[in-house]
Amino acid sequence: MEQNVTIQEGYARLKKTRALFIGGLLIALVILIGVAVTLGSADYTMAESYIAILAGLFPGRFTAPEMAEIIVWDYRLHRVLFAVCAGFGLAVAGSIMQGILRNPLASPFTLGIASAATTGASIAIVLGAGVVGGEYLVIGNAFLFALLAALAIYGMARYRGIGSETMVLAGIAIMYLFSAVTSLLQYVGSAEQLRAVVFWTFGSVDKSTWPKLAIVSLVLACTIPYLLYRAWDLNALAEGDEVAASLGVPVERSMILFMMIASLITAVIICFTGTIGFIGLVAPHITRMVIGGDFRTLIPASGLVGALLLLGADSIARSILAPQVLPVGIVTAFLGVPFFIYLFMHRRNA
Amino acid sequence: MKPIPILALALLLVLAVPASASTGGGIVGDADGDGVLTSAEYASATLAYLDAAYMGGTGVLDRTDIQDAAWVYTYWDGRPLTITDSSGKTMTLYRPLRRVVTFSGESLETLRSLGFDMEKVVAVDKYSHEKKTFFPECQGKANVGSVWSPDMERVLSVRPDAVFLYATISVSACDDIQKRLEASSPNIRVFRFDCFKPATYAGEIRTIASMIGRKDRGEEFASFYESTMDRIRDGTAGVPDGEKTRVYFEYWYDYTTVSAGSGYNEKIGLAGGVNPFSVGTTEYPTVDPEAILLADPEVVVKLAGQGLAVGGYAGHDPEALGAIRSTLIERPGWSSISAVKDGRVYVIHSDILGGAQHFIGTAYLAKWFYPDRFADLDPHAIHQRYLTEFQGIDFDLASKGTFVYP
Amino acid sequence: MLSIPANRLFCIALLLLVVPAAATGAPVTRTLSTAEPGAGEVFTVSLSIDGVALGAVVETLPPGYTFVGTDHPEDRVLVRGQQAGFAVMNDTRITYSVAAPASGSGDITGTWEDFLGESYGEVAPSHVAVDGIETVAMSAGERPASQEAAPPFAVLAAIAALLIAGWGGRR
């Protein structure tokens, strides 16, 4: 009797923690967005930035200082929203990867997707070759190669039997292959091209535009609800193949499907931003430490944590060396340091 | 999340319309819209302005408008100017440049050579901003970063009407800046000029000169530039390939030379030298030290500058360049190289071999490669004339700056 | 006998010459054929323009005075009430005639603009009074030299002229 009460109490407490956590995250995110749109080298007060936003939504009712509307709408707003979406997506992809690979240190890049996207970008930059011409040359290539990597994982895993170990091994092979190709292209390219490739690998939200934001939002809007719908299956898979199978989850098909969805989300984000690391690793890990690994809440919560982390990193990137804008990937790389130190100091046998 | 970006996109289009309305195609005051501002049209535009400004009349022309009309009437003969920039893009200008942002120091320097009113340059790139000796008047101007890391908000907040970017280098970065500017502010004109390539510089000088209404000065400067380059070309013409001076050109870093894709290699060629290491596609290949001894160059040139920061405009430091030269000569086995035996080892600063002043550096190269043919060529005097007469800065080469050694 | 009024006249003339020069370094200066026209007399105003290729001058006449005509091309002149606007196109001199009223005094003021030089400023005012008689309400607050700081030398010369006029008057 007593034990039941304790378990029920414990679960109620957990539910309350989750609700508070997610609620708190939402509030923090809204506040951070509110602060981030006022950051920038153009000298506007906070009030002027908001007036500029309102002036864009209700022209005629509000008049903003000259240029403010253009600067806020064309250079700040979509960047902030893009950072939110990108952070959300990378975190969700990371949580999926950590689930199906049963490795809390997995990330969206564990399966070599980042290396593949970099190779695609390098081919576009150095050789000028790609599937989509014009301004989407690099983006198209990066996306294509990222998906190619995912398909290669699928192919290799299917050949040897689909399981988390085979996927990780295949991922490592893919990563080395594409890194080698990228290095070769960097050597062959001119100094200018090399610079362009390196810049791409830093990862930045600089190049965001409203259409790109729309694309990423669309992909997220289509995939996240489906993932939430299948959250129980993810929970089962995270427990182990046999457990999942015994619960009636089509293990192999599900693992592949989730892997492809996570790869798709990652690909569509990094093809626009370059490789932004650590968000996909740190965000789900932190979230799991607070509210546990139930994917029904893990997915949205880690998404919010990821959005907060990336937006925070981007805000730092824009302010720390003002007027220079640091690539956000560099700031997130530094994020990894305190995180791993923390893990190192607080190692628990989980 | 989804509805917001689409809604915002629609609103952006709405915003873009009023922005473009203020561009105003057509010359100010061209009443009959035939593309020519006649003196009668100009006079009546002036009176319309006076009416509106002083006599309580209604009119759309303000002081800037009538000043623009006067400018176009004087410098462009009342007609719009059509120019082609170095990226091949043709554009028609209806108004003079009043607020210029330069992302390229070479364009800034060229504008100054042409006597452009530097007050009208409202922002410069960060590298020009750092050159306190060479661009003293730019210290107070806004800093817009570099093409790879541009501060777009600052560019917009200085309200420019013209932005200068590179044409054939850093193309993706410059294209990106251009795209973002044209998308958000259609009344900003973007010009792509290199201003450092021997093949295109003279043409660019003339184009920019016509844009800023300094045709005569442009002709004068272009002739000055061309006379030097022609003198070099003529002086080296007719040297058979087998007799061309063999040159080992070392870049800022040890044992790194220049090759086919590099501008420095082009200048070696223009000066009549031959670079035995210019095969292959890597711009700055590392060479095997033995290969230098085997090639036995007749002249050795070492580049000082950014990666090897001594001399240039910032410092008067002949000893430092001398030290560099000595280090070179003392390399093992180098005493057997012809260049060392004949004392033909030189150090030159990238400030005068790259960039807009490349004609000065190339003149030095020509003189070093063929001292007999260019006995009467005086690169030092050319340099001083460039600084005093065209750049208009007070810089006495005898006491300031170090660019060549010996 | 003539010495007292002549002296005073000379010093006033000196003042009139010095003060405009002191108030501006301007490209446009105005001279009147007479500063004390008779009632209804038509007098000439001459604008001397130095170094303005393309610009404009707007003259404002005091109340009662009327614009009669000018030698400047018709399509470059705009007259509205007390104001006359001239489009300057490589002109060095613009002349126009003004009819004085039966009585009244005031300042002819002007503004010049140099479009190519991108500058503008005031033309030093020229005082005019019918028969030399000042009518009150006019020049309050329109002291000529208050608009721009006069160079010290010119101020001293003006004071000297006043002193000479006073000394000459006492004699």
pLDDT of residue A194: 86
Among chain B residues, the shortest Cα distance to C81 is held by B55
CB contact under 8 A, C76 and B43: yes
Peptide bond into B406 cis (omega under 30): yes
At residue B156, the 3 state secondary structure works out as: helix
Helix, strand, coil percentages, rounded to 5, for chain A: 80, 0, 20
pLDDT of residue C137: 56
Contact A124, A181 (CB under 8 A): no
Among chain B residues, the shortest Cα distance to A80 is held by B5
Q: Starting from the edge strand earliest in sequence, which strands make up the sheet with C93-99, in order? A: C28-32, C42-49, C93-99, C66-70
pLDDT of residue A12: 87
Of A291, A213, A274, A341, which Cα lies nearest the Cα of A14?
Answer: A291
> Residue C58 is nearest to which of B43, B54, B73, comparing CB atoms?
B54
* Residue C38 bridge partners (DSSP): none
Angstrom CA distances, B249 to B157, B331, B334, C101, stand at: 44, 15, 14, 87
Q: State pLDDT tens for residues A254-306.
A: 888 999 999 999 999 999 999 998 999 999 998 998 888 899 999 999 999 99
* Average pLDDT of chain A, as a whole number: 87
Residues C4 and C84 in one domain: no
Give yes or no for residue C158 having a pLDDT over 80.
no
Using 50, 70 and 90 to split pLDDT, how confident is the model at A336? confident
pLDDT along chain B (406 residues), means of 10: 50 41 64 86 91 88 92 92 94 94 95 94 93 90 91 91 93 90 89 94 95 94 95 90 90 86 89 87 79 89 80 82 89 88 92 91 94 92 93 87 86
Give yes or no for residue A23 having a pLDDT over 80.
yes
Q: What is the mean pLDDT of residues A70-74?
A: 83
Give yes or no for residue C153 having a pLDDT over 80.
no
What span, in angstroms and rounded, lies between the C-alpha atoms of B310 and B303? Answer: 10
pLDDT of residue B397: 85
Stretch among A145-154, A308-317, B49-58, B285-294 having the lowest mean pLDDT:
B285-294
Of B101 and A208, which is predicted with more confidence? B101
| CB-neighbour burial class of residue B106 (10 A; exposed 0-12, middle 13-18, buried 19+) | buried
> Residue B184 is nearest to which of A59, A74, A217, comparing CB atoms?
A74
> Residue B47 is nearest to which of C85, C111, C120, comparing CB atoms?
C85
Stretch among A172-181, A309-318, B346-355, C131-140 having the lowest mean pLDDT:
C131-140
What span, in angstroms and rounded, lies between the C-alpha atoms of B281 and A185? Answer: 13
Give yes or no for residue A138 having a pLDDT over 80.
yes
pLDDT of residue B102: 96
> Residue C56 is nearest to which of B39, B50, B57, comparing CB atoms?
B50
Residues C163 and C125 in one domain: no
Work out the minimum CA distance from A45 to partner chain B, whole angstroms: 14
Residues on chain A touching B173 (C-beta within 8 angstroms): 196
SS3 of B133-154: the string is CCCHHHCCCEECECCCCECHHH
Residues on chain C touching B52 (C-beta within 8 angstroms): none
Which element (helix H / strand E) includes B326? Answer: helix B318-329
- Work out whether the CA dihedral B312, B315, B317, B322 comes out positive or negative: negative
Residues C155 and C74 in one domain: no
Of A73 and B282, which is predicted with more confidence? A73
What span, in angstroms and rounded, lies between the C-alpha atoms of A318 and A40? Answer: 7
Can you say how many angstroms the Cα of residue B311 is from the centroid of all Cα atoms in its chain?
Answer: 21
Work out the minimum CA distance from A321 to partner chain B, whole angstroms: 11
**Residue B126 contacts by C-beta under 8 Å, 6 or more apart in sequence?**
B143, B144, B145, B146
Residues C166 and C141 in one domain: no
Angstrom CA distances, A76 to A38, A275, A314, B7, B174, stand at: 8, 21, 11, 16, 20
Residues C5 and C47 in one domain: no
Instruction: Give partners of C (≥3 CB pairs < 8 A).
Output: B
Kindly state whether A324 is in contact with chain B, defined as any CB-CB distance less than 8 angstroms: yes
| CB-neighbour burial class of residue B257 (10 A; exposed 0-12, middle 13-18, buried 19+) | buried
> Residue C118 is nearest to which of B50, B54, B67, comparing CB atoms?
B67
Work out the minimum CA distance from A197 to partner chain B, whole angstroms: 11
For C50, phi and psi rounded to 5 degrees?
Answer: -120, 110
Q: What is the mean pLDDT of residues A236-260?
A: 85
> Residue A71 is nearest to which of B153, B173, B183, comparing CB atoms?
B153
Residues C156 and C84 in one domain: no
Of B388, B403, B374, B384, which Cα lies nearest the Cα of B230?
Answer: B374
Instruction: Give partners of B (≥3 CB pairs < 8 A).
Output: A, C
Query: DSSP assignment of A103-117, as one string?
Result: -TT--TTTTSHHHHH
What span, in angstroms and rounded, lies between the C-alpha atoms of C34 and C44? Answer: 8
> Which residue intervals of B22-166 are DSSP H helices?
39-54, 63-75, 105-113, 126-130, 152-157
CB contact under 8 A, B51 and C56: no
**Residue B334 contacts by C-beta under 8 Å, 6 or more apart in sequence?**
B293, B328, B340
Contact A313, A332 (CB under 8 A): yes
Give yes or no for residue A245 having a pLDDT over 90.
no
Tokens 């005075």 found at: C65
A78-345 CATH pick, 1.10.10.10, 3.20.20.80, 1.25.40.10, 1.10.3470.10 = 1.10.3470.10
CB contact under 8 A, B157 and A69: no
Contact B151, B177 (CB under 8 A): no
Among chain B residues, the shortest Cα distance to A137 is held by B172
Angstrom CA distances, A93 to A108, A308, B306, C20, stand at: 6, 16, 44, 80
Q: State pLDDT tens for residues C60-83.
A: 999 999 999 999 999 999 999 899
pLDDT of residue A327: 87
Domain tally for chain C? 2
* Residue C29 bridge partners (DSSP): C48
Long-range contact set of residues B285-291: C-beta below 8 Å, sequence gap at least 24: B285/B256, B285/B257, B285/B259, B286/B255, B286/B256, B286/B257, B287/B255, B287/B256, B287/B257, B289/B255, B289/B331, B289/B333
pLDDT of residue C142: 47
Residues C1 and C14 in one domain: yes
The structure tokens listed for C108 are 């002819």
CATH number at residue C143: 2.60.40.740
Kindly state whether B172 is in contact with chain A, defined as any CB-CB distance less than 8 angstroms: yes
Contact A208, B8 (CB under 8 A): no
CB contact under 8 A, A323 and B156: no
Contact C83, C58 (CB under 8 A): yes
For B219, phi and psi rounded to 5 degrees?
Answer: -65, -40
> Residue C89 is nearest to which of B39, B44, B49, comparing CB atoms?
B39
Residues C41 and C118 in one domain: yes
Residues on chain B touching C83 (C-beta within 8 angstroms): 54-55
Work out the minimum CA distance from A246 to partner chain B, whole angstroms: 38
Residues on chain B touching C77 (C-beta within 8 angstroms): 47
Of A203, A227, A340, which Cα lies nearest the Cα of A285?
Answer: A340
CB contact under 8 A, B2 and A217: yes
Kindly state whether C111 is in contact with chain B, defined as any CB-CB distance less than 8 angstroms: yes
pLDDT of residue C22: 45
Mutate which of C61, C114, C115 to test chain B, going by most B C-beta atoms within 10 A? Answer: C115
| CB-neighbour burial class of residue C90 (10 A; exposed 0-12, middle 13-18, buried 19+) | exposed
Kindly state whether B63 is in contact with chain A, defined as any CB-CB distance less than 8 angstroms: no
Residues C36 and C20 in one domain: no
Mutate which of C59, C72, C78, C90 to test chain B, going by most B C-beta atoms within 10 A? Answer: C78
CB contact under 8 A, B49 and C56: yes
Q: What is the mean pLDDT of residues A154-177?
A: 84
What is the reported pTM?
Answer: 0.79
DSSP code of residue C55: E
Query: DSSP assignment of B257-319, as one string?
Result: B--TTSHHHHHHHHTTEE-TT--SS-SS-B--HHHHHHH--SEEEEEEBTTB--SBTS---HH
Among chain A residues, the shortest Cα distance to B2 is held by A217
Q: Which amino acid is at A56?
A: G
Q: State pLDDT tens for residues C85-112.
A: 999 999 899 999 999 998 888 999 999 9
Q: Which domain holds residue C163?
A: 1-24+149-171
What span, in angstroms and rounded, lies between the C-alpha atoms of A75 and A204? Answer: 14
pLDDT of residue B362: 94
Residues C104 and C64 in one domain: yes
Using 50, 70 and 90 to split pLDDT, how confident is the model at C35? confident
pLDDT of residue C6: 60
Q: Do chains B and C touch (3 or more CB pairs under 8 A)?
A: yes
Kindly state whether C117 is in contact with chain B, defined as any CB-CB distance less than 8 angstroms: no
For C77, phi and psi rounded to 5 degrees?
Answer: -125, 140
What span, in angstroms and rounded, lies between the C-alpha atoms of C74 and B338? Answer: 81
Angstrom CA distances, B123 to B9, B112, B139, stand at: 30, 14, 10
pLDDT of residue B23: 40
CB contact under 8 A, C81 and B70: no
Kindly state whether C51 is in contact with chain B, defined as any CB-CB distance less than 8 angstroms: no
Contact B78, B27 (CB under 8 A): yes
Residues on chain A touching B149 (C-beta within 8 angstroms): 324-325
Which element (helix H / strand E) includes C42? Answer: strand C42-49
The structure tokens listed for B89 are 């893009």
Residues on chain A touching B283 (C-beta within 8 angstroms): 190-191
pLDDT of residue C1: 45
The structure tokens listed for C12 are 């006033």
> Residue A59 is nearest to which of B1, B14, B261, comparing CB atoms?
B14
Residues C92 and C153 in one domain: no
pLDDT of residue C164: 60
pLDDT of residue C150: 47
Residues C55 and C101 in one domain: yes
Q: What is the mean pLDDT of residues A178-183?
A: 94
